[in-house]
Amino acid sequence: MEAHRHEDRLMTGRPATDDVIPGAFALSVGMPDLPAPDGWRWVKLTDVARLESGHTPSRKHPEYWDGDIQWLGIQDARQHHGREILETRQTISELGIANSSARILPAGTVCLSRTASVGYVVRLGRPMATSQDFVNWVCSEDVEPEYLMYLFIAEADSILRFGKGSTHTTVYFPEVKAFHVCLPPPEEQRRIVAKVEALLARVNAARDRLAHVPGILKRFRQSVLAAACSGRLTEEWRVDSSFPEESVDLGQVLAEIRTGPFGSALHSSDYVESGIPVINPTNLVGGIIVPTASVSVTRDTRDRLAEFVLRTGDIVIARRGEMGRCAVVGAREAGWLCGTGCAVLRPNMRVLPSFLQLVVSSPEARRYLAACSVGSTMQNLNQKVLVGLPVWLPTIGEQREIVNHVEALFALADTIEQRASTALRRIDRLIQSILSKAFRGELVGPSPAPPEGADEE
């Protein structure tokens, strides 16, 4: 009786729209004026699959939750998009089912998210309920659940167009009730699914390998820095294979060190749009300085804080947050202002600025700075800690050679990373191409006709 009441609520609510909104190839709101491949037919989805909604039991009743019934939410669908789902983050109880409009749906149900995060689709691997964020399809023998799931994935952009809303898109039930799909015979659906899954398995394996590249290259860059700042990187270049005699503290290679303006020296009220940039830790990105237009000051303010003005060859280092984040000041940045969260290291003649940046960025330096920083909620560095940083100091000639080696190796890593990123984008396009061909009827041929006389005795 409850099942009939639920279906009545769905089918007696707002009726299916009379609008026609064609999708890309095999999904439409309303009957589209689109040709079907040979042997395929356009059908109303509710004629071949039972439409079900979901619901969230009241959270004011803890007894409705943490039961034995899996309950599908948006985060579950995001994590399992395009796959079968067996376990959900939250569960509900029999009481939750009995006291809400939630329903236990059978394994094989295809669930499509329709609110806020539109377009996530999963297939239930076991009976479970869903939130109201989903429209759910219990497939008849005329439509394979996997076929419908991949069709929804292929038509993701179309499904977004079916929705309404300027801030958060929602696909409403009048459009859902008017869904039409283009279906081949069930046997051909199964062959399409098998072909798609075989191709996607290979594509996803390649994507998984490429996804590891950034992490590998990050470790590679850290290894290069560690070798550069310990002498291992230039062992063959060095005439004398023994380490240089000099190991000093950072303070011994600085002409000056200055932390950014404290206290009342610089207020947020001093900031203007598009003035002289003020450099804070967030402006130190990947070893370069990236200014923020809204964090700038007038020339008068800059001149008032002249002792904190940056010069070419200075090293700006973050003294809050991530330890070791730094950059060399170039000609473009000369004249900008050091912010309160940074310090300026001004090298003397014994060290190249580019080499000193490598030293401060090295894993060993980062460990030292992190260990010596102070503060419970945010790490901070003072001048005493900075000047005490141990520095291995080779000759200027070897420093220059080290910098050249590191730049060449980092450039190689950057090239590999760019190629991996390009390959990932191509894989995403390849996946869409595979799905497009599948639902245009181009991925597999039509189901073969039975041999002549096969039904004869």
192-206, 253-267, 268-282, range with greatest mean pLDDT: 192-206
Q: How far is CA 35 from the centre of its chain?
A: 37
pLDDT of residue 1 exceeding 50, the answer is no
**Same structural domain, 282 and 380:** yes
pLDDT at 116: 77
pLDDT of residue 323 exceeding 90, the answer is no
- Strands 134-139 and 110-113 turn out to be antiparallel
Give buried/exposed letters for 250-279 (b at 16+ CB in 10 A, else e): beebbeebbbbbeeeebeeebbeeebbbbb
User: 9 by DSSP, 3-state: which?
Assistant: helix
Domain boundary among 337, 359, 393: 393
Confidence of residue 240 (pLDDT cuts 50, 70, 90): low
Confidence of residue 49 (pLDDT cuts 50, 70, 90): very high
With beta carbons less than 8 A apart as the criterion, state whether 405 and 229 touch: no
pLDDT at 373: 82
> Which range of residues forms the domain containing residue 161?
2-184
pLDDT of residue 236 exceeding 80, the answer is yes
Counted domains in the chain: 2
**Same structural domain, 11 and 137:** yes
Q: What is the pLDDT of residues 50-63, one digit of tens each?
A: 999 999 999 999 99
- The answer to the question of residue 280 being in a domain is yes
- The answer to the question of residue 19 being in a domain is yes
**Same structural domain, 17 and 111:** yes
pLDDT of residue 8 exceeding 80, the answer is no
Confidence of residue 452 (pLDDT cuts 50, 70, 90): low
- The answer to the question of residue 127 being in a domain is yes
Mean pLDDT score, 442-451: 71
pLDDT at 450: 58
Domain boundary among 349, 372, 393: 393
pLDDT of residue 382 exceeding 90, the answer is no
Q: What is the pLDDT of residues 14-33, one digit of tens each?
A: 899 999 999 999 999 999 99
pLDDT at 2: 44
- The answer to the question of residue 400 being in a domain is no
**Same structural domain, 179 and 285:** no
- The answer to the question of residue 206 being in a domain is no
Confidence of residue 3 (pLDDT cuts 50, 70, 90): very low
**Same structural domain, 134 and 10:** yes
pLDDT of residue 299 exceeding 80, the answer is yes
Q: Tell me which of 294 and 416 has the higher pLDDT.
A: 416
- The answer to the question of residue 164 being in a domain is yes
Domain boundary among 364, 393, 422: 393
Q: Which residue type occupies 175?
A: E
**Same structural domain, 266 and 382:** yes
pLDDT at 322: 77
**Same structural domain, 26 and 98:** yes
Per the listing, tokens 């590249």 go with 213
pLDDT at 9: 52
Full-prediction pTM beyond 0.85? no
Percent of the chain having pLDDT more than 70? Answer: 92
pLDDT at 378: 61
Q: What is the pLDDT of residues 77-114, one digit of tens each?
A: 999 999 999 999 999 999 999 999 999 999 999 999 99
Confidence of residue 276 (pLDDT cuts 50, 70, 90): very high
User: Of 437, 390, 20, which is closest to residue 229 (Cα–Cα)?
Assistant: 390
Q: How far is CA 10 from the centre of its chain?
A: 36
pLDDT of residue 10 exceeding 80, the answer is no
Per the listing, tokens 């399992």 go with 80
Q: If you ran DSSP here, which 8-state letter would residue 237 be given?
A: T
Q: Tell me which of 249 and 13 has the higher pLDDT.
A: 249
145-154 vs 396-439: helix crossing angle, rounded to 10 = 120
**Same structural domain, 164 and 256:** no
pLDDT at 245: 56
- The answer to the question of residue 110 being in a domain is yes
Confidence of residue 269 (pLDDT cuts 50, 70, 90): confident
**Same structural domain, 132 and 262:** no
How many CA within 13 A on the CB side of residue 298? 6
pLDDT of residue 346 exceeding 50, the answer is yes
pLDDT of residue 244 exceeding 60, the answer is no
User: Of 53, 40, 22, which is closest to residue 180 (Cα–Cα)?
Assistant: 22
Mean pLDDT score, 317-324: 84
Q: What is the pLDDT of residues 413-437, one digit of tens each?
A: 999 999 999 999 999 899 999 999 9
- The answer to the question of residue 203 being in a domain is no
Mean pLDDT score, 377-398: 87
What span, in angstroms and rounded, lies between the C-alpha atoms of 319 and 383? 9
CATH number at residue 153: 3.90.220.20
